[in-house]
Amino acid sequence: MPLRVSTTACTPLEQQDSRYRKGDIIELFIIDPAEKEQCFGRTAEGMGVMVSGMLAPGDRVSARVYKVKPRYLEARAIEVLEPSPDRIEPVCPVFGACGGCKWMHVGYEAQLRYKQKKVEDSLVHIGGFGSPDVKPVLAAPEPFHYRNKVEFSCSNLRYLLPSEMAQEELSKPKHFALGFHAPGNFEKVLDLDTCYLAKECMNRVLELVRDFALERGLFPYSARAHEGYLRNLMLRYSERYNQLMVNIVTSWYDQSLMQALKERLETAMPEQPMTLLNNVTTRRNTVATGEEEYVISGAGFVTERLGDLDFRISANSFFQTNTRQAETLYDQILAVGGITAEDTVYDLYCGTGTITLYLARHCRQAIGIEVVESAVSDAQMNAELNGLRNTVFFQADLKNFHAMQEALEPYAKPRIIVTDPPRAGMHPRALDTMLRLQPERIVYVSCNPSNLARDGKEILSRGYRLTSAQPVDMFPQTSHIETVACFERVE
């Protein structure tokens, strides 16, 4: 929840006893952001503290100690005594209760500085890099309303805000919520009127679907009891072609209900090109995918454009959630990769082939490798859609070097490898497979600076050097940062 920010001046911290106990109230100065909702700070005596709460570097706060360790403390913030000059008033009224935007209380220019420092610190302290060349973060042109995909959850347990706890009569029903899960709670959902990262047309659909569900008495899904009809509302939007996908995830199919919803949406948003889908699942989880899919209206997919390429995106396909910054990211891959018309390029963890196809326009052959069969099929379809015949996609497990070697036998060895692994980074055996291919250059795309540093340390030990690291801000208002790192083989 948002911390109380003091508006009165504070006296300097008094010298305290160096012995701390659980439950002590301490004062400290916030120095750096850390993972999740934590920051790192120090007391006046120099004791390091990992403190949780919506804080900003430069804040002076009071906090309650809940764990004492030999070299540092862990504490929860109570009050901001002196706010940081980087602190601003969040635009979202439920900031702090919603788990989505954890940096909305920090000015955007400051967010960019902290993210650059986060990459630098990870490379130095985890990877052991001496003086890494980390460029200034490439800022997003739109710090708000930039997401082209949003997943809302429905629950029979609405998360009540502190301001609602003392109210005798609530303005919203307690047993229906459509929005985001409360942090750390798989059952309760915070009912949202507006998401400040979603497109305006998405927020309009959120309002319409909520009203429709309440009018019809649609029972929301209970994760604990495994019963209820309405599970999720997943929305996608194509910026280039102004196409909107509305995907309702339910526990069973009701044709007449879906037709009624179609009419409601088309009547309320007549100028908005739209496709309506119903994904149906009986699984005991809250994931917004279905075992069956019904196309109620429209094509059943949206088409987005990156550069001069079109990509067909279905309900359950992966696609970068920030279209404009995806182009920026891919242009950086091209820039640092130094790709020429004679090169063979391998794209590891290629997914639906967006990076592979983006690179294929600039090289002799681009080969995408992916373990998920459905993603490979989507990649092949996207290659056909764009008329690119110099691409090859195949399903393979990067952890099996000999199988990879056999599959790649008909193709030229890569001069450049691009790898864009999941947030957990590369499996050690997959990393070994990549390094045994001995490319001249490795372009490592990472959404997790810590794992970039860990894998980069291994790449360094195998005869490569880091030439540059370019952070790209794909996710403003959050702590997440993408980085395009380039490694060159040392001759």
Return the pLDDT at 14.
Answer: 39
Adjacency order of strands within the sheet including 344-348 = 391-395, 365-370, 344-348, 416-419, 441-446, 482-489, 464-472
User: Is 263 exposed, middle or buried, given 0-12, 13-18 or 19+ CB atoms closer than 10 A?
Assistant: exposed
In the chain, which segments carry CATH 2.40.50.140?
4-82
In the chain, which segments carry CATH 3.40.50.150?
114-142+322-489
The residue among 372 and 464 whose pLDDT is bigger is 464
Interval 98-108: pLDDT, tens: 878 889 999 99
Q: Are strands 274-280 and 243-250 parallel, antiparallel or unpaired?
A: parallel
Return the pLDDT at 16.
Answer: 40
Interval 324-355: pLDDT, tens: 999 999 999 999 999 999 999 999 999 889 99
Q: How confident is the model at residue 18 (pLDDT cuts 50, 70, 90)?
A: low
In the chain, which segments carry CATH 2.40.50.1070?
149-306
Residue 415 has pLDDT above 90, yes or no: yes
- pLDDT-above-70 percentage for the chain: 96
Q: How confident is the model at residue 8 (pLDDT cuts 50, 70, 90)?
A: very low
Instruction: Select which of 195, 201, 363, 447 is catalytic.
Output: 447
Q: What does the block give as tokens for 432?
A: 């070994």
Q: Report the chain's mean pLDDT, rounded to a whole number.
A: 92
Interval 113-127: pLDDT, tens: 999 999 999 999 999
Residues 242-258: what's their mean pLDDT? Answer: 97
Residue 2 has pLDDT above 60, yes or no: no
Domain 4-82: CATH architecture, name and number where available: Beta Barrel (2.40)
Interval 386-409: pLDDT, tens: 999 999 998 988 998 888 888 888
CATH of domain 114-142+322-489: 3.40.50.150
Interval 178-220: pLDDT, tens: 999 888 777 899 999 999 999 999 999 999 999 999 999 999 9
Amino acid in the structure at residue 49? V
User: In this structure, how many other beta carbons lie within 10 angstroms of the beta carbon of residue 403?
Assistant: 13
Nearest CA among 268, 325, 259, 267 for reference residue 296: 259
Residues 348-377: what's their mean pLDDT? Answer: 93
CB burial string 229-259: b at 16+ within 10 A, e below: bbbbbbbbbbeeeebbbbbbbbbeeeeebbe
CATH of domain 149-306: 2.40.50.1070
**447 catalytic per annotation:** yes
